[in-house]
Amino acid sequence: MASTALRPCGDFRTTYKTDQYLFQTKMIGWTAAAALLVLILAPVLASSYVVNLLILVGISGISALGLNVLVGMTGQISLGHAAFYGFGAFSSAYLANNYGVPVLIAIPVAGVMTAIVGMIFGLPAARIKGLYLAIATLASQFILVDFFARATWFTNGYGVDASKPEFFGIPLDTDEKYFYVVLAWAVISMIAVANLKRSRDGRALVAVRDHYLSAEIMGINLTKYRILAFGISSFFAGVAGALYAHYIEFVSVETFSISLSINFLAMIIIGGLGSVPGAFLGAMFIELLPQLVQLISGFLITIAPTVFGLIENGKAYIEQITVGTVIILFLIFEPEGIAHRVGQTRKSIKLYPFSY
């Protein structure tokens, strides 16, 4: 194994087929398999607190992955991702509550519904791009959230209850059981997006990002792919939203504010734009950061109550400030995100003691 895993400088891929392997080296493949194994065993081994965190990371990761298709791969900035996430949550709850659709089926159906809504709101992308598009998605965020607050038939105007799913008669009512639903969706989405990246459509999306005029000249239908990117991204947002709804068991209109959209953007920037594992790494970072802040500020208060007592009532603010600072620091010092850093570290360990 060592001889194939060690790949010093130079790119030894000689055929298109090797260039398109899902796992570029055996090492990456084994790491992925090991990670999956650990995650499958996680509910047995870890405490329910860790499982709860893992579920949240998984859900946010799926949503961030969708956003990464739109922002990282296609280069279209969306400030309205949380609204689509919310739409998925409400539609899944609506289907399950009003039509008795089994939850496990309602989740992907909600994803498809969200994809359609996403494509409708992506229509301006046919004509505009960059900054103007970012502002258009900002508008769609406000319009959709306003719709949630108005459409009482859909959301009660404030929020709806959502039930836990059943799997062939087995209720998936505990965190440990629900974890597998999230894990399955996370794995499916990761494989789907990784496969998209190495397919014709995925390359077309990247071409649209890199230079849309050249892409158009090469015969790529810009309008189709721009709107398709919105569709794909909204699908994952919808699925993640639905998973969230059935996990929390109550969907509130207020959850899906612009700050959630910003959190999703922060995840992909910190994780790495356009990277599949990056979306999950970023989600982990953003979901764990508040826990870390809680831990540190709690620790500071216990060791020096007089000095840090002030922090006690400002914990929520400190959390926000940390998130903002981390985003700025990443943008200035590590614009390619954690995924890039992980790759660099991997290479330098492998090639130690030589630099390449």
Partner 1 sequence: MNWFLLTQLLANGLIVGMLYGVVAMCFVLIYKSTQVVNFAQGEFLVLGAWVCLAMVVKAGLPFYIAFPFTLVFMTIFGILIQTVILRPLIGEPIISIIMVTIALSIIMQSILNWTFGNSSASFPQIFPVENVSLFGLQVETAYIMSLVLSVFVMALFYAFFQYSKYGLAMRATAYDQQAAQSLGVSVGQVFAMSWAISAVVSGIAGIIIGIVSGVSSSLAVIGIKVFPAVIVGGLDSIVGAIVGGVIIGLLENLAEFVDGQYLQWGNLYTIAPFYVLIIILVIKPYGLFGTRDIERI
CB atoms under 10 Å from CB of 342, counted, come to 16
The span from the first CA to the last CA of the chain, in angstroms, equals 20
Q: Which of 46, 187, 248, 262 binds partner 1 (CB under 8 A)?
A: 262
Q: Which of 21, 49, 132, 158 binds partner 1 (CB under 8 A)?
A: 132
Q: Which of 5, 35, 116, 123 binds partner 1 (CB under 8 A)?
A: 123
Q: Which of 6, 50, 139, 292 binds partner 1 (CB under 8 A)?
A: 139
Q: How far is the CB of 158 from partner 1 (least distance, A)?
A: 14
Our finding on whether 136 is near partner 1 (CB under 8 A) is: yes
Q: Which stretch binds partner 1 (CB under 8 A): 56-64, 181-189, 301-309, 311-319?
A: 311-319
Q: Is the torsion defined by CA of 195, 93, 280, 259 positive or negative?
A: positive
Residues 78-117 close enough to bind partner 1 by CB under 8 A: 79
Q: How far is the CB of 192 from partner 1 (least distance, A)?
A: 23
x-or-dash string of contact with partner 1, 59-78, rule CB under 8 A: ------------x---x-x-
> DSSP 3-state assignment of 129?
coil
Q: How far is the CB of 295 from partner 1 (least distance, A)?
A: 19
CA distances from 198 to 21, 218, 233, 242 (A): 8, 18, 17, 28
Our finding on whether 219 is near partner 1 (CB under 8 A) is: no
319 Cβ neighbours under 8 A, 6+ residues apart: 289, 290, 293, 294
Rounded Cα distance between 244 and 224, Å, is 30
- Token pair recorded at residue 300: 């500071």
**Cis before 353 (ω within 30):** yes
C-beta closer to partner 1: residue 2 or 332: 332
Our finding on whether 27 is near partner 1 (CB under 8 A) is: no
Our finding on whether 335 is near partner 1 (CB under 8 A) is: yes
Our finding on whether 269 is near partner 1 (CB under 8 A) is: yes
Rounded Cα distance between 289 and 53, Å, is 11
C-beta closer to partner 1: residue 129 or 197: 129
Residue 343 backbone zone (phi > 0: left; psi -120 to 50: alpha; other: beta) = alpha
Cβ burial 250-285 (10 Å sphere, 16+ → b, else e): ebebebbbbebbbbbbbbbbbbbbbbbbbbbbbbbb
Q: What residues make contact with partner 1 under the rule CB under 8 A?
A: 71, 75, 77, 79, 123-124, 127-128, 130-132, 134-136, 138-140, 142-143, 146, 150, 211, 213-214, 217, 259, 262, 265-266, 269, 273, 314, 316-318, 320-321, 323-325, 327-328, 331-332, 335
